[in-house]
Structure 1
């Protein structure tokens, strides 16, 4: 009997030859097989969200001098009970021209260098002028002086490799003259949809056709993770079509993600095509809901994921498996935003044999509400969710009032 386009592939499914592993094991395998992208120098203004690839040391003492923390008068603490003669004004950005001796003071602005001899800055509001002299009328007990090198000394490490650059870290880099900064390159991530039933969103579905939403969802998730998505379009359900797109994606990308074509159906060719191209399949089935048919493989410094074609499965597997991988690929530690909350109602799993990830709404008062969920195609449930809760394998019920950990999405 002629199998048509299936050929011998139907008899040699890589997917069928791989045993099912737990989610924890899949997570471990993914992270253990993650390398890092190359380092590159990037202008400081373009570094938001990037990951430092090298330690950064201060090139100078910070601050480089004793600086005034207030607008006021720089003087000696020993002279606070006497009238003081003002000898100069010191703006920020200018060096003092005179030392402060007994009975003298200098008008000084915030951020200006404290003159020699002064050991305190009395804020203007705590002084008054009488008969051409300055008098201190209130003593706060503070010196209001930022001491030289109190933040860092020249040569001190101020940021470590692996630091994700937020605005505050970018300010630190600027303060030590680190421009450009050495960061890990943003991974280029290829996205491939598979399925004869798929059409692009701008097209009107005819009978048996559906719009391709997964690819656009994945591209958005990839961008949100700090990577560069490249969409390769829809591959028809033939080994030849998948092979052609795979070749192009391998050439142009660090990571390739397939959506669909990874299960055990007659037209699910992705795992075998990956294997035929020399990709080492690390696993092809994960004991997880949604997303059991999930594939991960490597070839040199290239990485490959095959995610189920159902929208929720694609979304969840990216968030809990692919995103941590991409974060590590960029040289950072994966630290998702997690908040503990209390279950508003009992939650019962149909089967307790695998980990299950469910959409939830974490309320302002800490209550956690699970959504009505109709399976792995029910992406609309996630439009109302702001988090995911994992129900571990072996747990069949979570009681109302119990604490749960919510991963924010």
Structure 2
């Protein structure tokens, strides 16, 4: 049958009929359709817990964070220098005190005087600017003069950053280290976060051995299991490692059934394409999983399965490591963040000029090309031999998204880029 791409909007069909048609006709769905389907069927868990501040990165805020103070709490110097009156810049200035960070000024700045001041220290009364040390000349131990042509104010004003009771972080924020600094600044030492989704990781394939064994014959080490486990951790989930599952129907059925009982999300790699031993979709149906799609018009990642059973989600990812990493990042990560109530579950796509000419022979699928941003701010594909080439990702920080129907891109053209 000819290659077909399915988008509900293109066919003018309601979303539920579109999903049914994509499954029944085995039509490849677009990446946008796949992501929107995952978003539609991913529901917030609705549970929260409190964790110490330093354990909050990688979690999602369950409540907004409000400041308990004004920031800055006083007018403070933005530079090391001398606090004085701007109208006195033409005068010799007598140093009346030294104000270090953490100390309070004791003098008022009068005509012809100044105070030596450190960055972050409170500005003394009547000073309306701070001149930088490098713009001054020392006359004697008590006297300086301004030798610059002009000066900025160099004062951070009271509450110019945030006022007491202002919201500093919104509910649904995925917590990064910079958010920890913000919470620490407003006195938060315990954080209310969304409960972590439990994500089972199952790996199928008789050719696989665990990483502590030396592969023999046609065997390879299980890289996917460890990759997916750490991806779950990175995006705030609770991983449940189910190990390597034998490539037979009964073992696969038992492993998936067990994972469905214990998890909010089940991920498994391998067994989802059209090979003789790839029976995962059939097993899922036997277990009552409603499959929403099972092929995507994406390279790598065509044999990707997504299904739903009650409030649980199942992702059958391709066995090749680049495919599984990319599809986890695009789909499973999105589901996890939705379950935690994140306000931004999908990463932004940005436009970046490509470093050189790009071409491909076939363009019937959207291509995800491992790439990096070079020193010129251009995106540059890394040396990549295909979806089994996991070593290509050692330098890749982004993926170039090449649309369906595009065979070539010229140097300097803007392309869609998504971080990985």
TM-score tier by shorter-chain length is 0.7 to 0.9
Kept in 1, the 8 Å contact 2:172–2:343? The answer is yes
Confirm whether residue 235 of structure 1 aligns to residue 248 of structure 2. no
> Partner of 2:4 in structure 1?
none
> Partner of 2:400 in structure 1?
389
Spell out, residue by residue over 1:21-40, the C-alpha distance to the aligned partner (whole angstroms, 9 max, x if none).
22221121112222335433
> Partner of 1:45 in structure 2?
54
TM-score, normalised by the number of residues in structure 1: 0.79
Spell out, residue by residue over 1:239-279, the C-alpha distance to the aligned partner (whole angstroms, 9 max, x if none).
43223322432344332101122234554332233334343
CA-CA distance at 1:56 after TM superposition: 1.9
Question: What is the correspondence of 1:1-400 to structure 2 with a 5 Å cutoff?
Answer: 17=24, 19-20=26-27, 21-37=29-45, 38-79=47-88, 88-101=97-110, 105-123=114-132, 126=136, 128=138, 134=143, 136-138=145-147, 140-205=150-215, 209-330=219-340, 331-333=342-344, 334-336=346-348, 338=350, 340-342=352-354, 344-345=356-357, 347-350=359-362, 352-360=363-371, 364=375, 366=378, 368-369=380-381, 371=383, 373=385, 376-382=387-393, 385=396, 387-395=398-406, 397-400=407-410
SS class of match (1:202): coil
CA-CA distance at 1:399 after TM superposition: 4.4
CA-CA distance at 1:87 after TM superposition: 5.0
Structure 1 unaligned segments of length 5 or more: list them: 1-14
CA spacing shift, 1:214–1:79, aligned 2, 3 Å = closer
2:416 & 2:80 partners in 1: Cα distance?
A: 48
Kept in 1, the 8 Å contact 2:382–2:392? The answer is no
CA-CA distance at 1:303 after TM superposition: 1.9
TM-score, normalised by the number of residues in structure 2: 0.78
CA spacing shift, 1:107–1:345, aligned 2, 3 Å = closer
Count, aligned residues: 391
2:315 & 2:364 partners in 1: Cα distance?
A: 24
RMSD of aligned Cα (Å): 3.5
1:316 & 1:326 partners in 2: Cα distance?
A: 15
SS class of match (2:34): helix
SS class of match (2:243): strand
Structure 2 unaligned segments of length 5 or more: list them: 1-21
CA-CA distance at 1:232 after TM superposition: 0.7
